[in-house]
Amino acid sequence: MSKVKISGDKYAWLMAVSISTGTSHGLKPMEANPLGGVRSKYPGPRAQISRDRSLTWWRRILPIIASHRLTFITSIVLSFVSLVFQTLVPNMLNHAITGIQTHSTGLHFEVIQIIVVGVLAGVTGIISRQYVYYTAYNVEADLRSLIYEHLTWLSFSFYDRVQSGQLISRANSDIRSVQMYSTFAPLIIVQSSIGILAFGFMLSIDPVLALIAMTIMPAMYFIGIRMRRVLFPISWITQARLAEVATIVDENINGVRVVKSFAQEEAEVNRLADAAERVAWAYVKDAQFRGKWSPWVQNLPQVGLALVLVFGGWMVYDGHLGIGAILAFNAYLLMLQAPFMMLGQLVMMGQRAKASAERIFEVLDESPDIVERPGAFDLENVKGALDFNHVRFEYANGAQILTDFDAHVSAGETVAIVGRTGSGKSTIARLLTRFYDVSDGAVCVDGIDVRDATLESLRANVGVVLDEPFLFSISIAENIAYGKPDATYDAIEAAARAANAHEFIERLPEGYDTVVGERGYTLSGGQRQRIAIARTLLVNPPVLVLDDATSAIDVHVEAGIYEALSTLLARRTTIVIAHRISTIALASRVILIDEGRVVATGTHEELLATTPLYAEVLAQTTREDE
Amino acid sequence: MAWGGGWGGGGGGMFGSSQSTGLPFGGIPSELQAEANKVLATEPAREKSSLTFHQRPSAKERLALTLPRMLRAYPGWVAGGSLLVIATSLLLQAGPLLTEFAINRGLTLGHRSLAVVYVCGSLYLVLAIVNALLQRVQIDVTGKLASRVMHDLRIRVFTHFQRLSLDFFTEEKAGVLMSRMTSDVENLQQLVQDGISSFAAQGLTMIVITVILFWTNVVLATWTVLLVVPLMFVFTLWFHHASEKGYLLSRDRIANVLADLSESLYGIRVVTANNRQRRNIKNHRHVVGAYRDANLYTGRVNAIYGPATNMIGIFGSALLLGIGGNMVLDHKLSIGALVAFFLYLNRFFSPIQLLVQQYNSLQQGRSSVIRLRELLQTPPSIDESSDAPTLPTIEGRITFEDVSFGYSPDNLVLRDVNLEIAPGESVAFVGPTGAGKSTMAKLANRFYDPTTGRVLLDGIDIRTVSLQSLRSQLGVVPQEAFLFAGSIRTNLSFGRSGLTTKEIEEAIDVVGLRDLIDRLPQGLDTVIHERGQTLSAGERQLLALARAFLARPRVLILDEATSSLDLQSETVIEAALDRLLEGRSAILIAHRLTTAQRADRIVVIDEGAIVEVGTPHELLSHNGAYASMYQAWLASGGRDATRS
């Protein structure tokens, strides 16, 4: 029994695998995780993005970068120092070569000088880049954590209207491009300051030639602007179309059963091919636009070099200038070339980053609809009296679900809610746990409006077994302990027994340690539902809502579950949403709802006798007629 | 490199229509809309793809995936692109030669001529412009090449996904599979578009320069090449080794990050209901942290390589000055040649810097190729034999012949099952959960193959026929009703294209969803989001039933397809079942014995074996397992179907 270990760290094994490969590559082994796995020393983000939406995108990101300012500034300063050393070299060569004819003793001093400067440039360069990468990857990790954390707290209404595939995209590549720009851009700008240094040296050699050499720069600038105008829209189009492809792939992975059942592989391949064709066109267009402008960005420095040769040559011919100057100008113009190419790249990166940042902000600016009121308090010693006071509810898309739902459940009572499909039964469960807020009216637990309670205490006291039993790809024991990760093995087993799941779990090859496959599909629907019930039972909430939670479980097993419930969870307020008579029979009272209102309430027999609609909903009219 | 955004990109399409539904996501910023529309206006209308899907890969598809093989499909573009790369790399190296010529023939004592300087300078200028024009063509060509190659690859990988069997998707995390089709393919896109050509251009540049250096002065060139190149070479080998491992590692770990993220998002409702937010956040930090650590390792390697190569370059300059300068003093070398040497040395090292950059993307691309190759070489566990014949239109006789099956070999779920279902007959499988009912259904449409024994359709072993012809005649309605993003109409036409609105409306009426459709603002064209979370589980099941109804299969398998229905909907469905089952064989897996009672025959399954078979009437009068089940069902309030 003790072999079951609730590590609570669902990816511990994954990390352990990658660490074991990691150490062989010379990575430092990570510190042992007290939770049972291994973990990184990554402390989590130290700052948030700015909430002020009027700021430009990079100012909103700034606080994150500022939280790494020490390494960031060090990297930039050292990078600048390294550049200064690098720019010294061509000038040293200029003096050495121009002076060669007058020399008689050799060039030892000049050679040693250059070597020393080279070492200094190298060492400062290496250190500065270490810090650049350190900052960049920490910023990325921060952004990833932030967006995950933000998503975790968003409300159901958000997830109703947004596709998860899109969110994953935002949380992945968009973060990457923002991180690239926000951390590498300042560095590139610093590196580009090599241009100013180089220009300075050129001026000191010959101001006229320096100005001639620099005539190409305005052209570079305007081409950059033009490029930016053209490439920005196409990069958006490309991104959007890549997301279409991603959505199709996502659906085909998650809906593989349906695709195969209907033998629609060919149709799906063609659907993807069409989407891929649209991506391909966008990429071709992108290349066309780049081809139109970027060769000029690359070749303008060559034009500068040609100008230096013509005019510099003339000056040398006239005796104004030494031959070494042509060499030095060449070297400096080449030094300019790299930063200008990088600046061009920077423009593109900036476009992408801005687009990405806006998409990320769209997510981060979403605030949860369901928030705690200031002064919200913890629900304590909940007895379980529930009141739905004239509740009206409509979804964000305007669908009116509850019109005037007014119902009261006393503490310890078991009530069944019955109604047609779409009559709003499930909504009631979702309002009780504040997955959604009422549009009007109030939902109270023990007379306290759920909106006055802290969310955590509310959800700890009101347990819902949802109609769709989602399991995570962790072990069954961890799935059952999902709401109470520190539960003991005995408690887990007890919950599993109560949910009639113990037997089949024991029969699995690894028992409670069996890792559930993707989305739990290795288990049958009924088995998953039983694990979902065990998961809620383990938390042992005073109020329990079973939202169609036993639909896939056969009658025998269901009866067993309710039997266990009645003893294990005696004196607990239970709301059962179901359409099986066997399930309804467990309730002491039935609330019949239709068109968002309570139509009748009473015992099963009473309703059968008094309310034709009830019989109709239960489809028992024929039987009663006989 | 990146995928994201949420915009249909104009031109309609399945997701284009979602724009109108007021999704918060989706949108090109308004200030760019005009410019984007201008771009989109140039997009030609395209025919819908009409690829054919074969379960068996062609001989060409069976070859291991390599970059050269991918490129080989477009020899013209590859050749053209290569020529252009060569031409531009050569042209770019003319500058220092012209400078040397100008200095030696125009600016040194005894050879003074301004005309030479001007001619050299003008020629230089012209070459730079020609080069720019050539580069433009080159970017166009490689852009087209990359987009075609990636288009092929996307379809190839996706087609392979379609070939793989269910067990593959159960075992592999969705996030990992996702990243194969997204980030891995996009890595390669970058590589083919810019990486390879630039890598080739830089490599070529180095070769050209080496040749010119030796041609200019053998002694000085030998010194330069002997001292600098081996150093660079050894250093690059180290870098190669270290960075490849780093990239593989960080690729693995980003897959973990995405897997964790995607699971958390899909399970967000459970996370919220269980107050797990804080814990999950902490956990995600570990996953993200592991990814960061892999990145930091790669970063350290990169940080050393770049500046260190730069340093070697400066040492090279010092060396040239020391040796070459003294040679000029000794009149063994012209000053023009020394200047040219310096010019080339600069150009020698900047390509190395760029090569390093390109090398990174080459590395990433390579690890992506490896991963994709592995994926493409994963065989489906359920496969067709080569030239598997088409299953002719069947009457619907289903035979289980001595069938045993286990998901793992040592744990049999079914043992020696024998059963024959006659054409047009409907058979209900009943029995406790986990007895093997669903497994029987999964064997019938070949989601899995029996460990021993055979499953036959009209006497034909289903393993011998093509999967497409098999499954298109079997309609399965699984318990979990998966809906696609798109309108209700497209979802319902999933199994059969070209349905008329009338047919769809009829199906809606049959399953009793008229109310829902009337309630929805856009009726049949209402777009379903996120697997239909705004619909109830029952409504989703009804839609799935309608979808199966419209596909008109020869054999219908309902795998607990009515579990989430309320009794009223179930009554509608049961009336509809008569229509659904008309002239078809059917397997009904139901725990509701009312449904079972409707079947021609009932098969009671327990512990992987058939316990009882017979008509409902026979079994009830027989007083066996079914009779006692039925009694229990009635006792628990089940509707007595025998009396209606």
The fold of A386-625 is Rossmann fold (3.40.50)
Q: Do A242 and B158 touch (CB under 8 A)?
A: no
Q: Do B495 and A118 touch (CB under 8 A)?
A: no
CATH number at residue B631: 3.40.50.300
Among A170, A260, A399, select the one facing B471 at the smallest CB separation: A260
Going by their DSSP bridges, the two strands A573-577 and A414-419 should be labelled as parallel
Cα radius of gyration (chain A) = 35
Min Cα separation A406/chain B (Å): 22
Going by their DSSP bridges, the two strands B486-487 and B527-528 should be labelled as antiparallel
Q: How many CB atoms lie within 10 A of CB B500?
A: 9
Let me know whether B326 and B459 are in one domain: no
Per the structure block, which two tokens stand in for B381?
């566990």
Residue boundaries of the structural domains of chain A = 1-41, 57-364, 386-625
Is the predicted pLDDT of residue A498 greater than 90, yes or no?
no
Chain A interface, best mutation among B140, B205, B272, by max A CB count within 10 A: B272
Q: For B255-266, what is each residue's pLDDT tens digit? A: 888 888 888 888
Q: Is residue B532 part of a domain?
A: yes
What does the DSSP 8-state code read for residue A215? T
CATH number at residue B137: 1.20.1560.10
List the single residue in A with minimal CA-CA distance to B265: A164
Going by their DSSP bridges, the two strands A440-445 and A448-449 should be labelled as antiparallel
DSSP B185-203: HHHHHHIIIIIHHHHHHHH
Is the predicted pLDDT of residue B640 greater than 70, yes or no?
no
- This prediction has a pTM of 0.68
DSSP A397-452: T--EEEEEEEEEE-TT-EEEEEE-TTSSHHHHHHHHTTSS--SEEEEEETTEEGGG
Q: Do B155 and A269 touch (CB under 8 A)?
A: yes
The amino acid occupying position B207 is I
Number of domains in chain B: 2
Is the predicted pLDDT of residue A318 greater than 70, yes or no?
yes
DSSP B571-626: HHHHHHHHHHHTT-EEEEE-S-HHHHHHSSEEEEEETTEEEEEE-HHHHHHHTSHH
Return the pLDDT at A496: 92
Q: What are phi and psi of B421, to 5 degrees?
A: -110, 125
Q: Of all residues in chain A, what percent carry a pLDDT higher than 90?
A: 21
Contacts of B516 in chain A (CB under 8 A): 422
Q: What are phi and psi of B3, to 5 degrees?
A: -135, 140
Q: Which residue has the higher pLDDT, A183 or B629?
A: B629
Let me know whether B373 and B407 are in one domain: no
Let me know whether B269 and B163 are in one domain: yes
Q: Which residue has the higher pLDDT, A591 or B592?
A: A591
Let me know if B167 is exposed, middle or buried by CB neighbors in 10 A (0-12, 13-18, 19+).
middle
Let me know whether B358 and B413 are in one domain: no
Q: Do B299 and A136 touch (CB under 8 A)?
A: yes
List the single residue in B with minimal CA-CA distance to A253: B174
Cβ(B641)–Cβ(B593) below 8 Å:
yes
Return the pLDDT at A578: 77
Is the predicted pLDDT of residue A78 greater than 90, yes or no?
yes
Among B293, B479, B644, select the one facing A525 at the smallest CB separation: B479
Handedness of CA A37, A40, A42, A43 (dihedral sign): positive
Tell me how far apart the alpha carbons of residues B121 and B109 are, in angstroms, rounded to a whole number: 20
Q: Among A503, A376, A400, which Cα is nearest to A448's?
A: A376
Helices B218-266 and B335-377 pack at an angle, to 10 degrees, of: 30
Contacts of A518 in chain B (CB under 8 A): 169-174
Min Cα separation B489/chain A (Å): 16
Tell me which architecture the domain covering A57-364 has in CATH. Answer: Up-down Bundle (1.20)
Q: Is residue B30 part of a domain?
A: no
Q: Is residue B309 part of a domain?
A: yes
Give the least confident one: A74-78, A519-523, B246-250, B434-438.
A519-523
Q: Is residue B303 part of a domain?
A: yes
Cβ(A98)–Cβ(A325) below 8 Å:
yes
Chain centroid to Cα B72, Å, comes to: 22
Q: Is residue B16 part of a domain?
A: no
The torsion of the CA quartet A383, A387, A392, A398, rounded to 10 degrees, works out to: 20
Let me know whether B607 and B471 are in one domain: yes
Give the least confident one: A444-453, B281-290, B533-542.
B533-542
Tell me how far apart the alpha carbons of residues B129 and B110 are, in angstroms, rounded to a whole number: 33
Q: For B532-557, what is each residue's pLDDT tens digit? A: 666 777 788 888 888 888 888 888 88
Q: Is residue B562 part of a domain?
A: yes
Helices A69-98 and A323-364 pack at an angle, to 10 degrees, of: 170
Min Cα separation A403/chain B (Å): 15
**Mean pLDDT value of segment A71-89:** 91
DSSP B299-350: HHHHHHHHHHHHHHHHHHHHHHHHHHHHHHHTTSS-HHHHHHHHHHHHHHHH
Tell me how far apart the alpha carbons of residues B279 and B257 are, in angstroms, rounded to a whole number: 16
Q: Is residue B24 part of a domain?
A: no
- Give the residue numbers spanning the domain of B405: 398-637
Contacts of B539 in chain A (CB under 8 A): 421-422
Partners of A443 in beta bridges: A388
Let me know whether B128 and B229 are in one domain: yes
Let me know whether B153 and B78 are in one domain: yes
Q: Is residue B1 part of a domain?
A: no
Is the predicted pLDDT of residue B644 greater than 80, yes or no?
no
Min Cα separation B507/chain A (Å): 17
Tell me how far apart the alpha carbons of residues B503 and B30 are, in angstroms, rounded to a whole number: 41
Q: Which residues contact B156 (CB under 8 A, 6 or more apart)?
A: B61, B65, B376
Q: Which residues contact B260 (CB under 8 A, 6 or more apart)?
A: A10, A11, B175, B283, B284, B287
State the complex-level ipTM: 0.78
Q: For A208-267, what is each residue's pLDDT tens digit? A: 888 888 888 778 777 877 777 788 788 888 888 888 888 888 888 888 878 888 778 888
Let me know whether B358 and B449 are in one domain: no
Q: Which residues contact B68 (CB under 8 A, 6 or more apart)?
A: none
Min Cα separation B429/chain A (Å): 12
Cβ(A50)–Cβ(A60) below 8 Å:
yes
Let me know whether B486 and B450 are in one domain: yes
Q: For A528-581, what is each residue's pLDDT tens digit? A: 888 998 998 888 889 999 887 777 777 677 777 877 777 766 778 999 887 777
Tell me how far apart the alpha carbons of residues A228 and A343 are, in angstroms, rounded to a whole number: 11
Q: For A235-247, what is each residue's pLDDT tens digit? A: 888 888 888 888 8
Min Cα separation A184/chain B (Å): 13
Q: How many CB pairs under 8 A join A and B?
A: 742
Q: Which residues contact B66 (CB under 8 A, 6 or more apart)?
A: B369, B373
Return the pLDDT at B483: 83
What does the DSSP 8-state code read for residue A580? -
Return the pLDDT at A441: 92
Put simply, whether A319 touches B (Cβ < 8 Å) is no
Let me know whether B357 and B455 are in one domain: no
Let me know whether B277 and B320 are in one domain: yes
Among A37, A162, A579, select the one facing B567 at the smallest CB separation: A579
User: Residue A362: which region, alpha, beta or left (left: phi > 0; alpha: psi -120 to 50)?
Assistant: alpha
Is the predicted pLDDT of residue A502 greater than 60, yes or no?
yes
Chain centroid to Cα A246, Å, comes to: 15
Let me know whether B502 and B355 are in one domain: no
